[in-house]
Structure 1
Amino acid sequence: MSPWLSVWGLVADMAGVAIITYDIWPEYRVHRLREAIEWQYKVLISSLSETQEDEEPAQTIQEMLHSMGRSEMDRLRQRLGLPAIGEGRMLPTEEEIARSRIETDAAIARKMAKIETRTRPPVGFGVMLVILGFLLQLLGALPPAFVRAHFGG
């Protein structure tokens, strides 16, 4: 058939994928942010407990690793619009970590509430465009002799 059917099929596929992505992307970003924050809390808590257990020469290496994790945590908190924890000290206290966890959970809940109230695109229409695009590409790829023999053209 016409190679233009393949082109229109590709356009329909791209439009359908764009609609689906526009619907899913914000929730995916918040999910990834939540995972990163949980991992950073585990790093902070483990480094805090290790520092309390041993105060030996390995402490400088531990402080270096902790500061790297700390800067990552502060960067994640900044993405949520929250200030750094620990007021500039190298190691935050357990109370500061607990308070920080409550603040970040509340900030993520606010982000999710904002996402839930947005106008969502018609995902069913996006899926239909992807299927239509596939069919148009399939028809556009058929050789003309096959179309004449089976569809009487």
Structure 2
Amino acid sequence: HDLIERLNAIAGPHGVGRVDIIENRLVGMKSRGLYETPGGTVLVEALAALEHMVHSRETLHWREQIGLRMAELVYNGQWFTDLRRAISAAAESLAQRLDGEVVVRLYKGHATAIRRRADQSLYAEDFATFGADEVYDQKHAEGFIRLFSLPERIRAMKEQS
């Protein structure tokens, strides 16, 4: 709670976390929502920066899906459901790998991660190059591309015959 209040005091004057949206209510009507959550916005940016360093593409995709579902449950007043508890347990499991530091720049209503370090990062510059190195052989990509595109190539062959 103290962290949120401190971040609110720091990020609020920068206009971070102000949202003006038209919402779709559970009962079907639309309403206008004006929200301010500067501290939450900074924390979400920092968390996302760590998640992108630590989790695989598939894990991140799934995490985004359960995040949307969690938001629906909370918005609809379904906090005390088994589904919300299950999603929370999954999120806590994923969060156990998140340990590091993030520097977030606040400027004209935006919070942007500009520097990050994670103890369990999957990012390594040596592995992320497409140049000549000992870690990644360019020839391996050809087989992957042919295999990954197999359904589309089969469809194209059938459509041509």
TM-score with structure 1 setting the length = 0.32
TM-score with structure 2 setting the length = 0.30
Q: Which has the larger radius of gyration?
A: 1
Larger RCO, structure (CA 8 Å, separation 6 or more) = 1
Name whichever structure is richer in strand by fraction: 2
Name whichever structure is richer in helix by fraction: 1
